[in-house]
Structure 1
């Protein structure tokens, strides 16, 4: 079994809120994807020698709350030194998932 399924089974066995399990799993996955996206953008992994004197590098992160179906997740949005990185995972200035928006013109 994978770590995800093991944790899910533990959550179910302890009769905890399943939405909280999915929220924390989603938060971890989204933060990992944001870091991977920055690595792909820069063309090297953190602490890789290829990145030295490359002209652009990691420059910390800022936090953002993002509302999802399972609750609010805390995201750490990475930055690059030149300010060119814009994550494709999230819309610019987006604070909530599309599923939360109600279409008033049904």
Structure 2
């Protein structure tokens, strides 16, 4: 298993475990916790871009694009940071144009 797949699998398991630990499927606080997890993922990616830009001084941050990330608990709405050259890609994202992780694909 490559690094990105491993990270994605671990992240999805962690999100699901946190949600299940703190609230049931019918719990009204579940959407708020889901939003918190989405925000944490956004900060992870932004921090990763900042590290990338420190190592690549000729590149600059160039905003964000919105994306849905499929997880076992449903879609997460995230804002993915980008750079002018387009060479930066956060490690937590699955392969390009892939919306779900391997566990979902294996299930099908």
- Compute the TM-score of the two structures, normalised by the length of structure 2: 0.62
Task: Tell me: higher relative CO, structure 1 or 2? Use CA pairs within 8 A at least 6 residues apart.
Answer: 2
CA RMSD in angstroms comes to 2.8
The structure with the largest helix share of the pair is 2
Deviation of 1:67 (Å):
1.6
What's the counterpart of residue 85 of structure 1? 88
Which of 88, 94, 101 aligns to 2:98? It is 94
- The runs of at least 4 aligned residues of structure 1 exceeding 3 Å deviation read 15-19
Q: How does 1:1-106 map to 2 (within 5 A)?
A: 16-17=27-28, 19-43=30-54, 54-91=57-94, 92-103=96-107
**1:68–1:97 Cα contact (<8 Å) kept:** yes
In the alignment, the residues of structure 1 paired with residue 30 and residue 72 of structure 2 have an alpha-carbon distance, to the nearest angstrom, of 9
Kept in 2: contact 1:20–1:70 (CA 8 A)? no
- CA–CA distance in structure 1, aligned partners of residues 75 and 82 of structure 2: 22
Cα distance in 2 for partners of 1:17, 1:98 equals: 29
